[in-house]
């Protein structure tokens, strides 16, 4: 044992010559190629029934961060927000992809100002080229329901803890921190302004740290060997928000069917 401990510092120093230590250089684990984002939780949509009818036009004007929370930091004051400011993109994508696009038809409202300006430019160009008999643009698609909501709460470090054990100066240790994000979704009737149904979803974010430490004296306490390795895993905030939004959309679909807002398509041969 003493011989092995005596050789370890020499091996580590030898690996440092001419570059980093191959055994400890794990930066390649962090590298990955860009990929198209899919559902955060595919299992939510596997058993979702189909809509009995045409896709439902739906408008999303905004889905913003209403928490005002800043990214938690124990050392400096952070001006970065704890959650994304563009969560409406996740909502639109979830609605557009639900049931392979057979459930909803999202209409553009987040960028409605840009859309109207562009239509005005097209109208002016046609009038200049074709005169008073210029071909008019078709009307914009209107939605029967509006989806409103946002990220309404973010709590950092709702749970913290860890454990560790050492024997003869050698042992593992773990730590964890749990945050929580809450979102709200509601469907509103365009004709009456009535809130048809609503849902609130909370999702926990878990950050963990695992490591191994070793500290040992040898050769009559004249030499020391120390080893410290650690790996930290932080659940991405965008994944938590996407997962919460997808859960909320599926729950709205189920509640809407219960309230008679729409019907699920029955399998062929099933009696109504």
**Are 81 and 50 contacting, i.e. CB atoms less than 8 angstroms apart?**
no
Q: Which domains does the chain have, with CATH numbers?
A: 41-258 (3.40.50.10610)
Q: Which residue has the higher pLDDT, 134 or 252?
A: 252
**Are 172 and 212 contacting, i.e. CB atoms less than 8 angstroms apart?**
yes
Closest-CA residue to 153 (of 177, 179, 181): 181
Give Cα 107 distance to the centre of its chain. 22
Judge whether residue 79 has pLDDT over 60. Answer: no
Report the distance separating Cα 251 and Cα 199, nearest Å: 7
Q: Which residue has the higher pLDDT, 214 or 10?
A: 214
User: Which class for 75: exposed (0-12), middle (13-18), buried (19 or more C-beta within 10 A)?
Assistant: exposed
**Helix ranges (DSSP H) in 17-56:** 43-46
Judge whether residue 40 has pLDDT over 50. Answer: yes
Per the structure block, which two tokens stand in for 265? Answer: 């398509």
Judge whether residue 1 has pLDDT over 50. Answer: no
Mean pLDDT of 38-47: 86
In this prediction the pTM is 0.78
What backbone phi and psi angles, to 5 degrees, belong to 220?
A: 60, 40
* Arithmetic mean of pLDDT over the chain: 83
Least-confidence region, from 4-18, 144-158, 247-261: 4-18
pLDDT in tens, 104-131: 999 999 999 999 999 999 999 998 988 8
Least-confidence region, from 8-17, 77-86, 217-226: 8-17
- Per-residue pLDDT at 80: 54
pLDDT in tens, 198-252: 999 999 988 898 988 888 887 877 888 888 888 888 888 888 899 999 999 999 9
**Are 15 and 21 contacting, i.e. CB atoms less than 8 angstroms apart?**
yes
Query: What confidence category does residue 10 fall into, taking pLDDT thresholds of 50, 70 and 90?
Result: very low
Mean pLDDT of 262-272: 76
- Per-residue pLDDT at 238: 84
């Amino acid at each position: 044992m003493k011989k092995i401990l005596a050789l370890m510092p020499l091996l580590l120093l030898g690996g440092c010559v001419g570059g980093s230590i191959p055994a400890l250089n794990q930066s390649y684990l962090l590298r990955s190629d860009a990929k198209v984002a899919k559902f955060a939780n595919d299992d939510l949509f596997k058993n979702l029934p189909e809509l009995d009818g045409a896709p439902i036009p739906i408008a999303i004007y905004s889905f913003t961060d209403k928490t005002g929370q800043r990214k938690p930091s124990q050392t400096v004051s952070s001006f970065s927000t704890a959650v994304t400011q563009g969560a409406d993109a996740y909502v639109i994508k979830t609605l557009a992809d639900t049931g392979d696009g057979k459930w909803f038809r999202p209409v553009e409202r987040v960028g409605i100002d840009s859309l109207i300006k562009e239509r005005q430019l097209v109208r002016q160009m046609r009038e200049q080229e074709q005169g008073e008999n210029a071909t008019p643009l078709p009307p914009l698609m209107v939605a029967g329901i509006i989806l409103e909501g946002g990220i309404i709460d973010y709590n950092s470090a709702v749970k913290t803890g860890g454990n560790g054990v050492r024997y003869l100066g050698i042992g593992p240790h773990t730590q964890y921190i749990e945050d929580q994000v809450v979102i709200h979704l509601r469907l509103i009737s365009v004709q009456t302004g009535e809130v048809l149904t609503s849902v609130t979803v909370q999702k926990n974010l878990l950050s963990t740290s695992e490591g191994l430490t070793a500290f040992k004296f040898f050769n009559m306490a004249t030499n020391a060997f120390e080893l410290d390795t650690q790996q930290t895993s932080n659940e991405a905030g965008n994944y938590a928000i996407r997962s919460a939004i997808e859960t909320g959309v599926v729950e709205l679909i189920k509640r809407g069917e219960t309230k008679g807002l729409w019907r699920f398509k029955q399998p062929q041969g099933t009696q109504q």
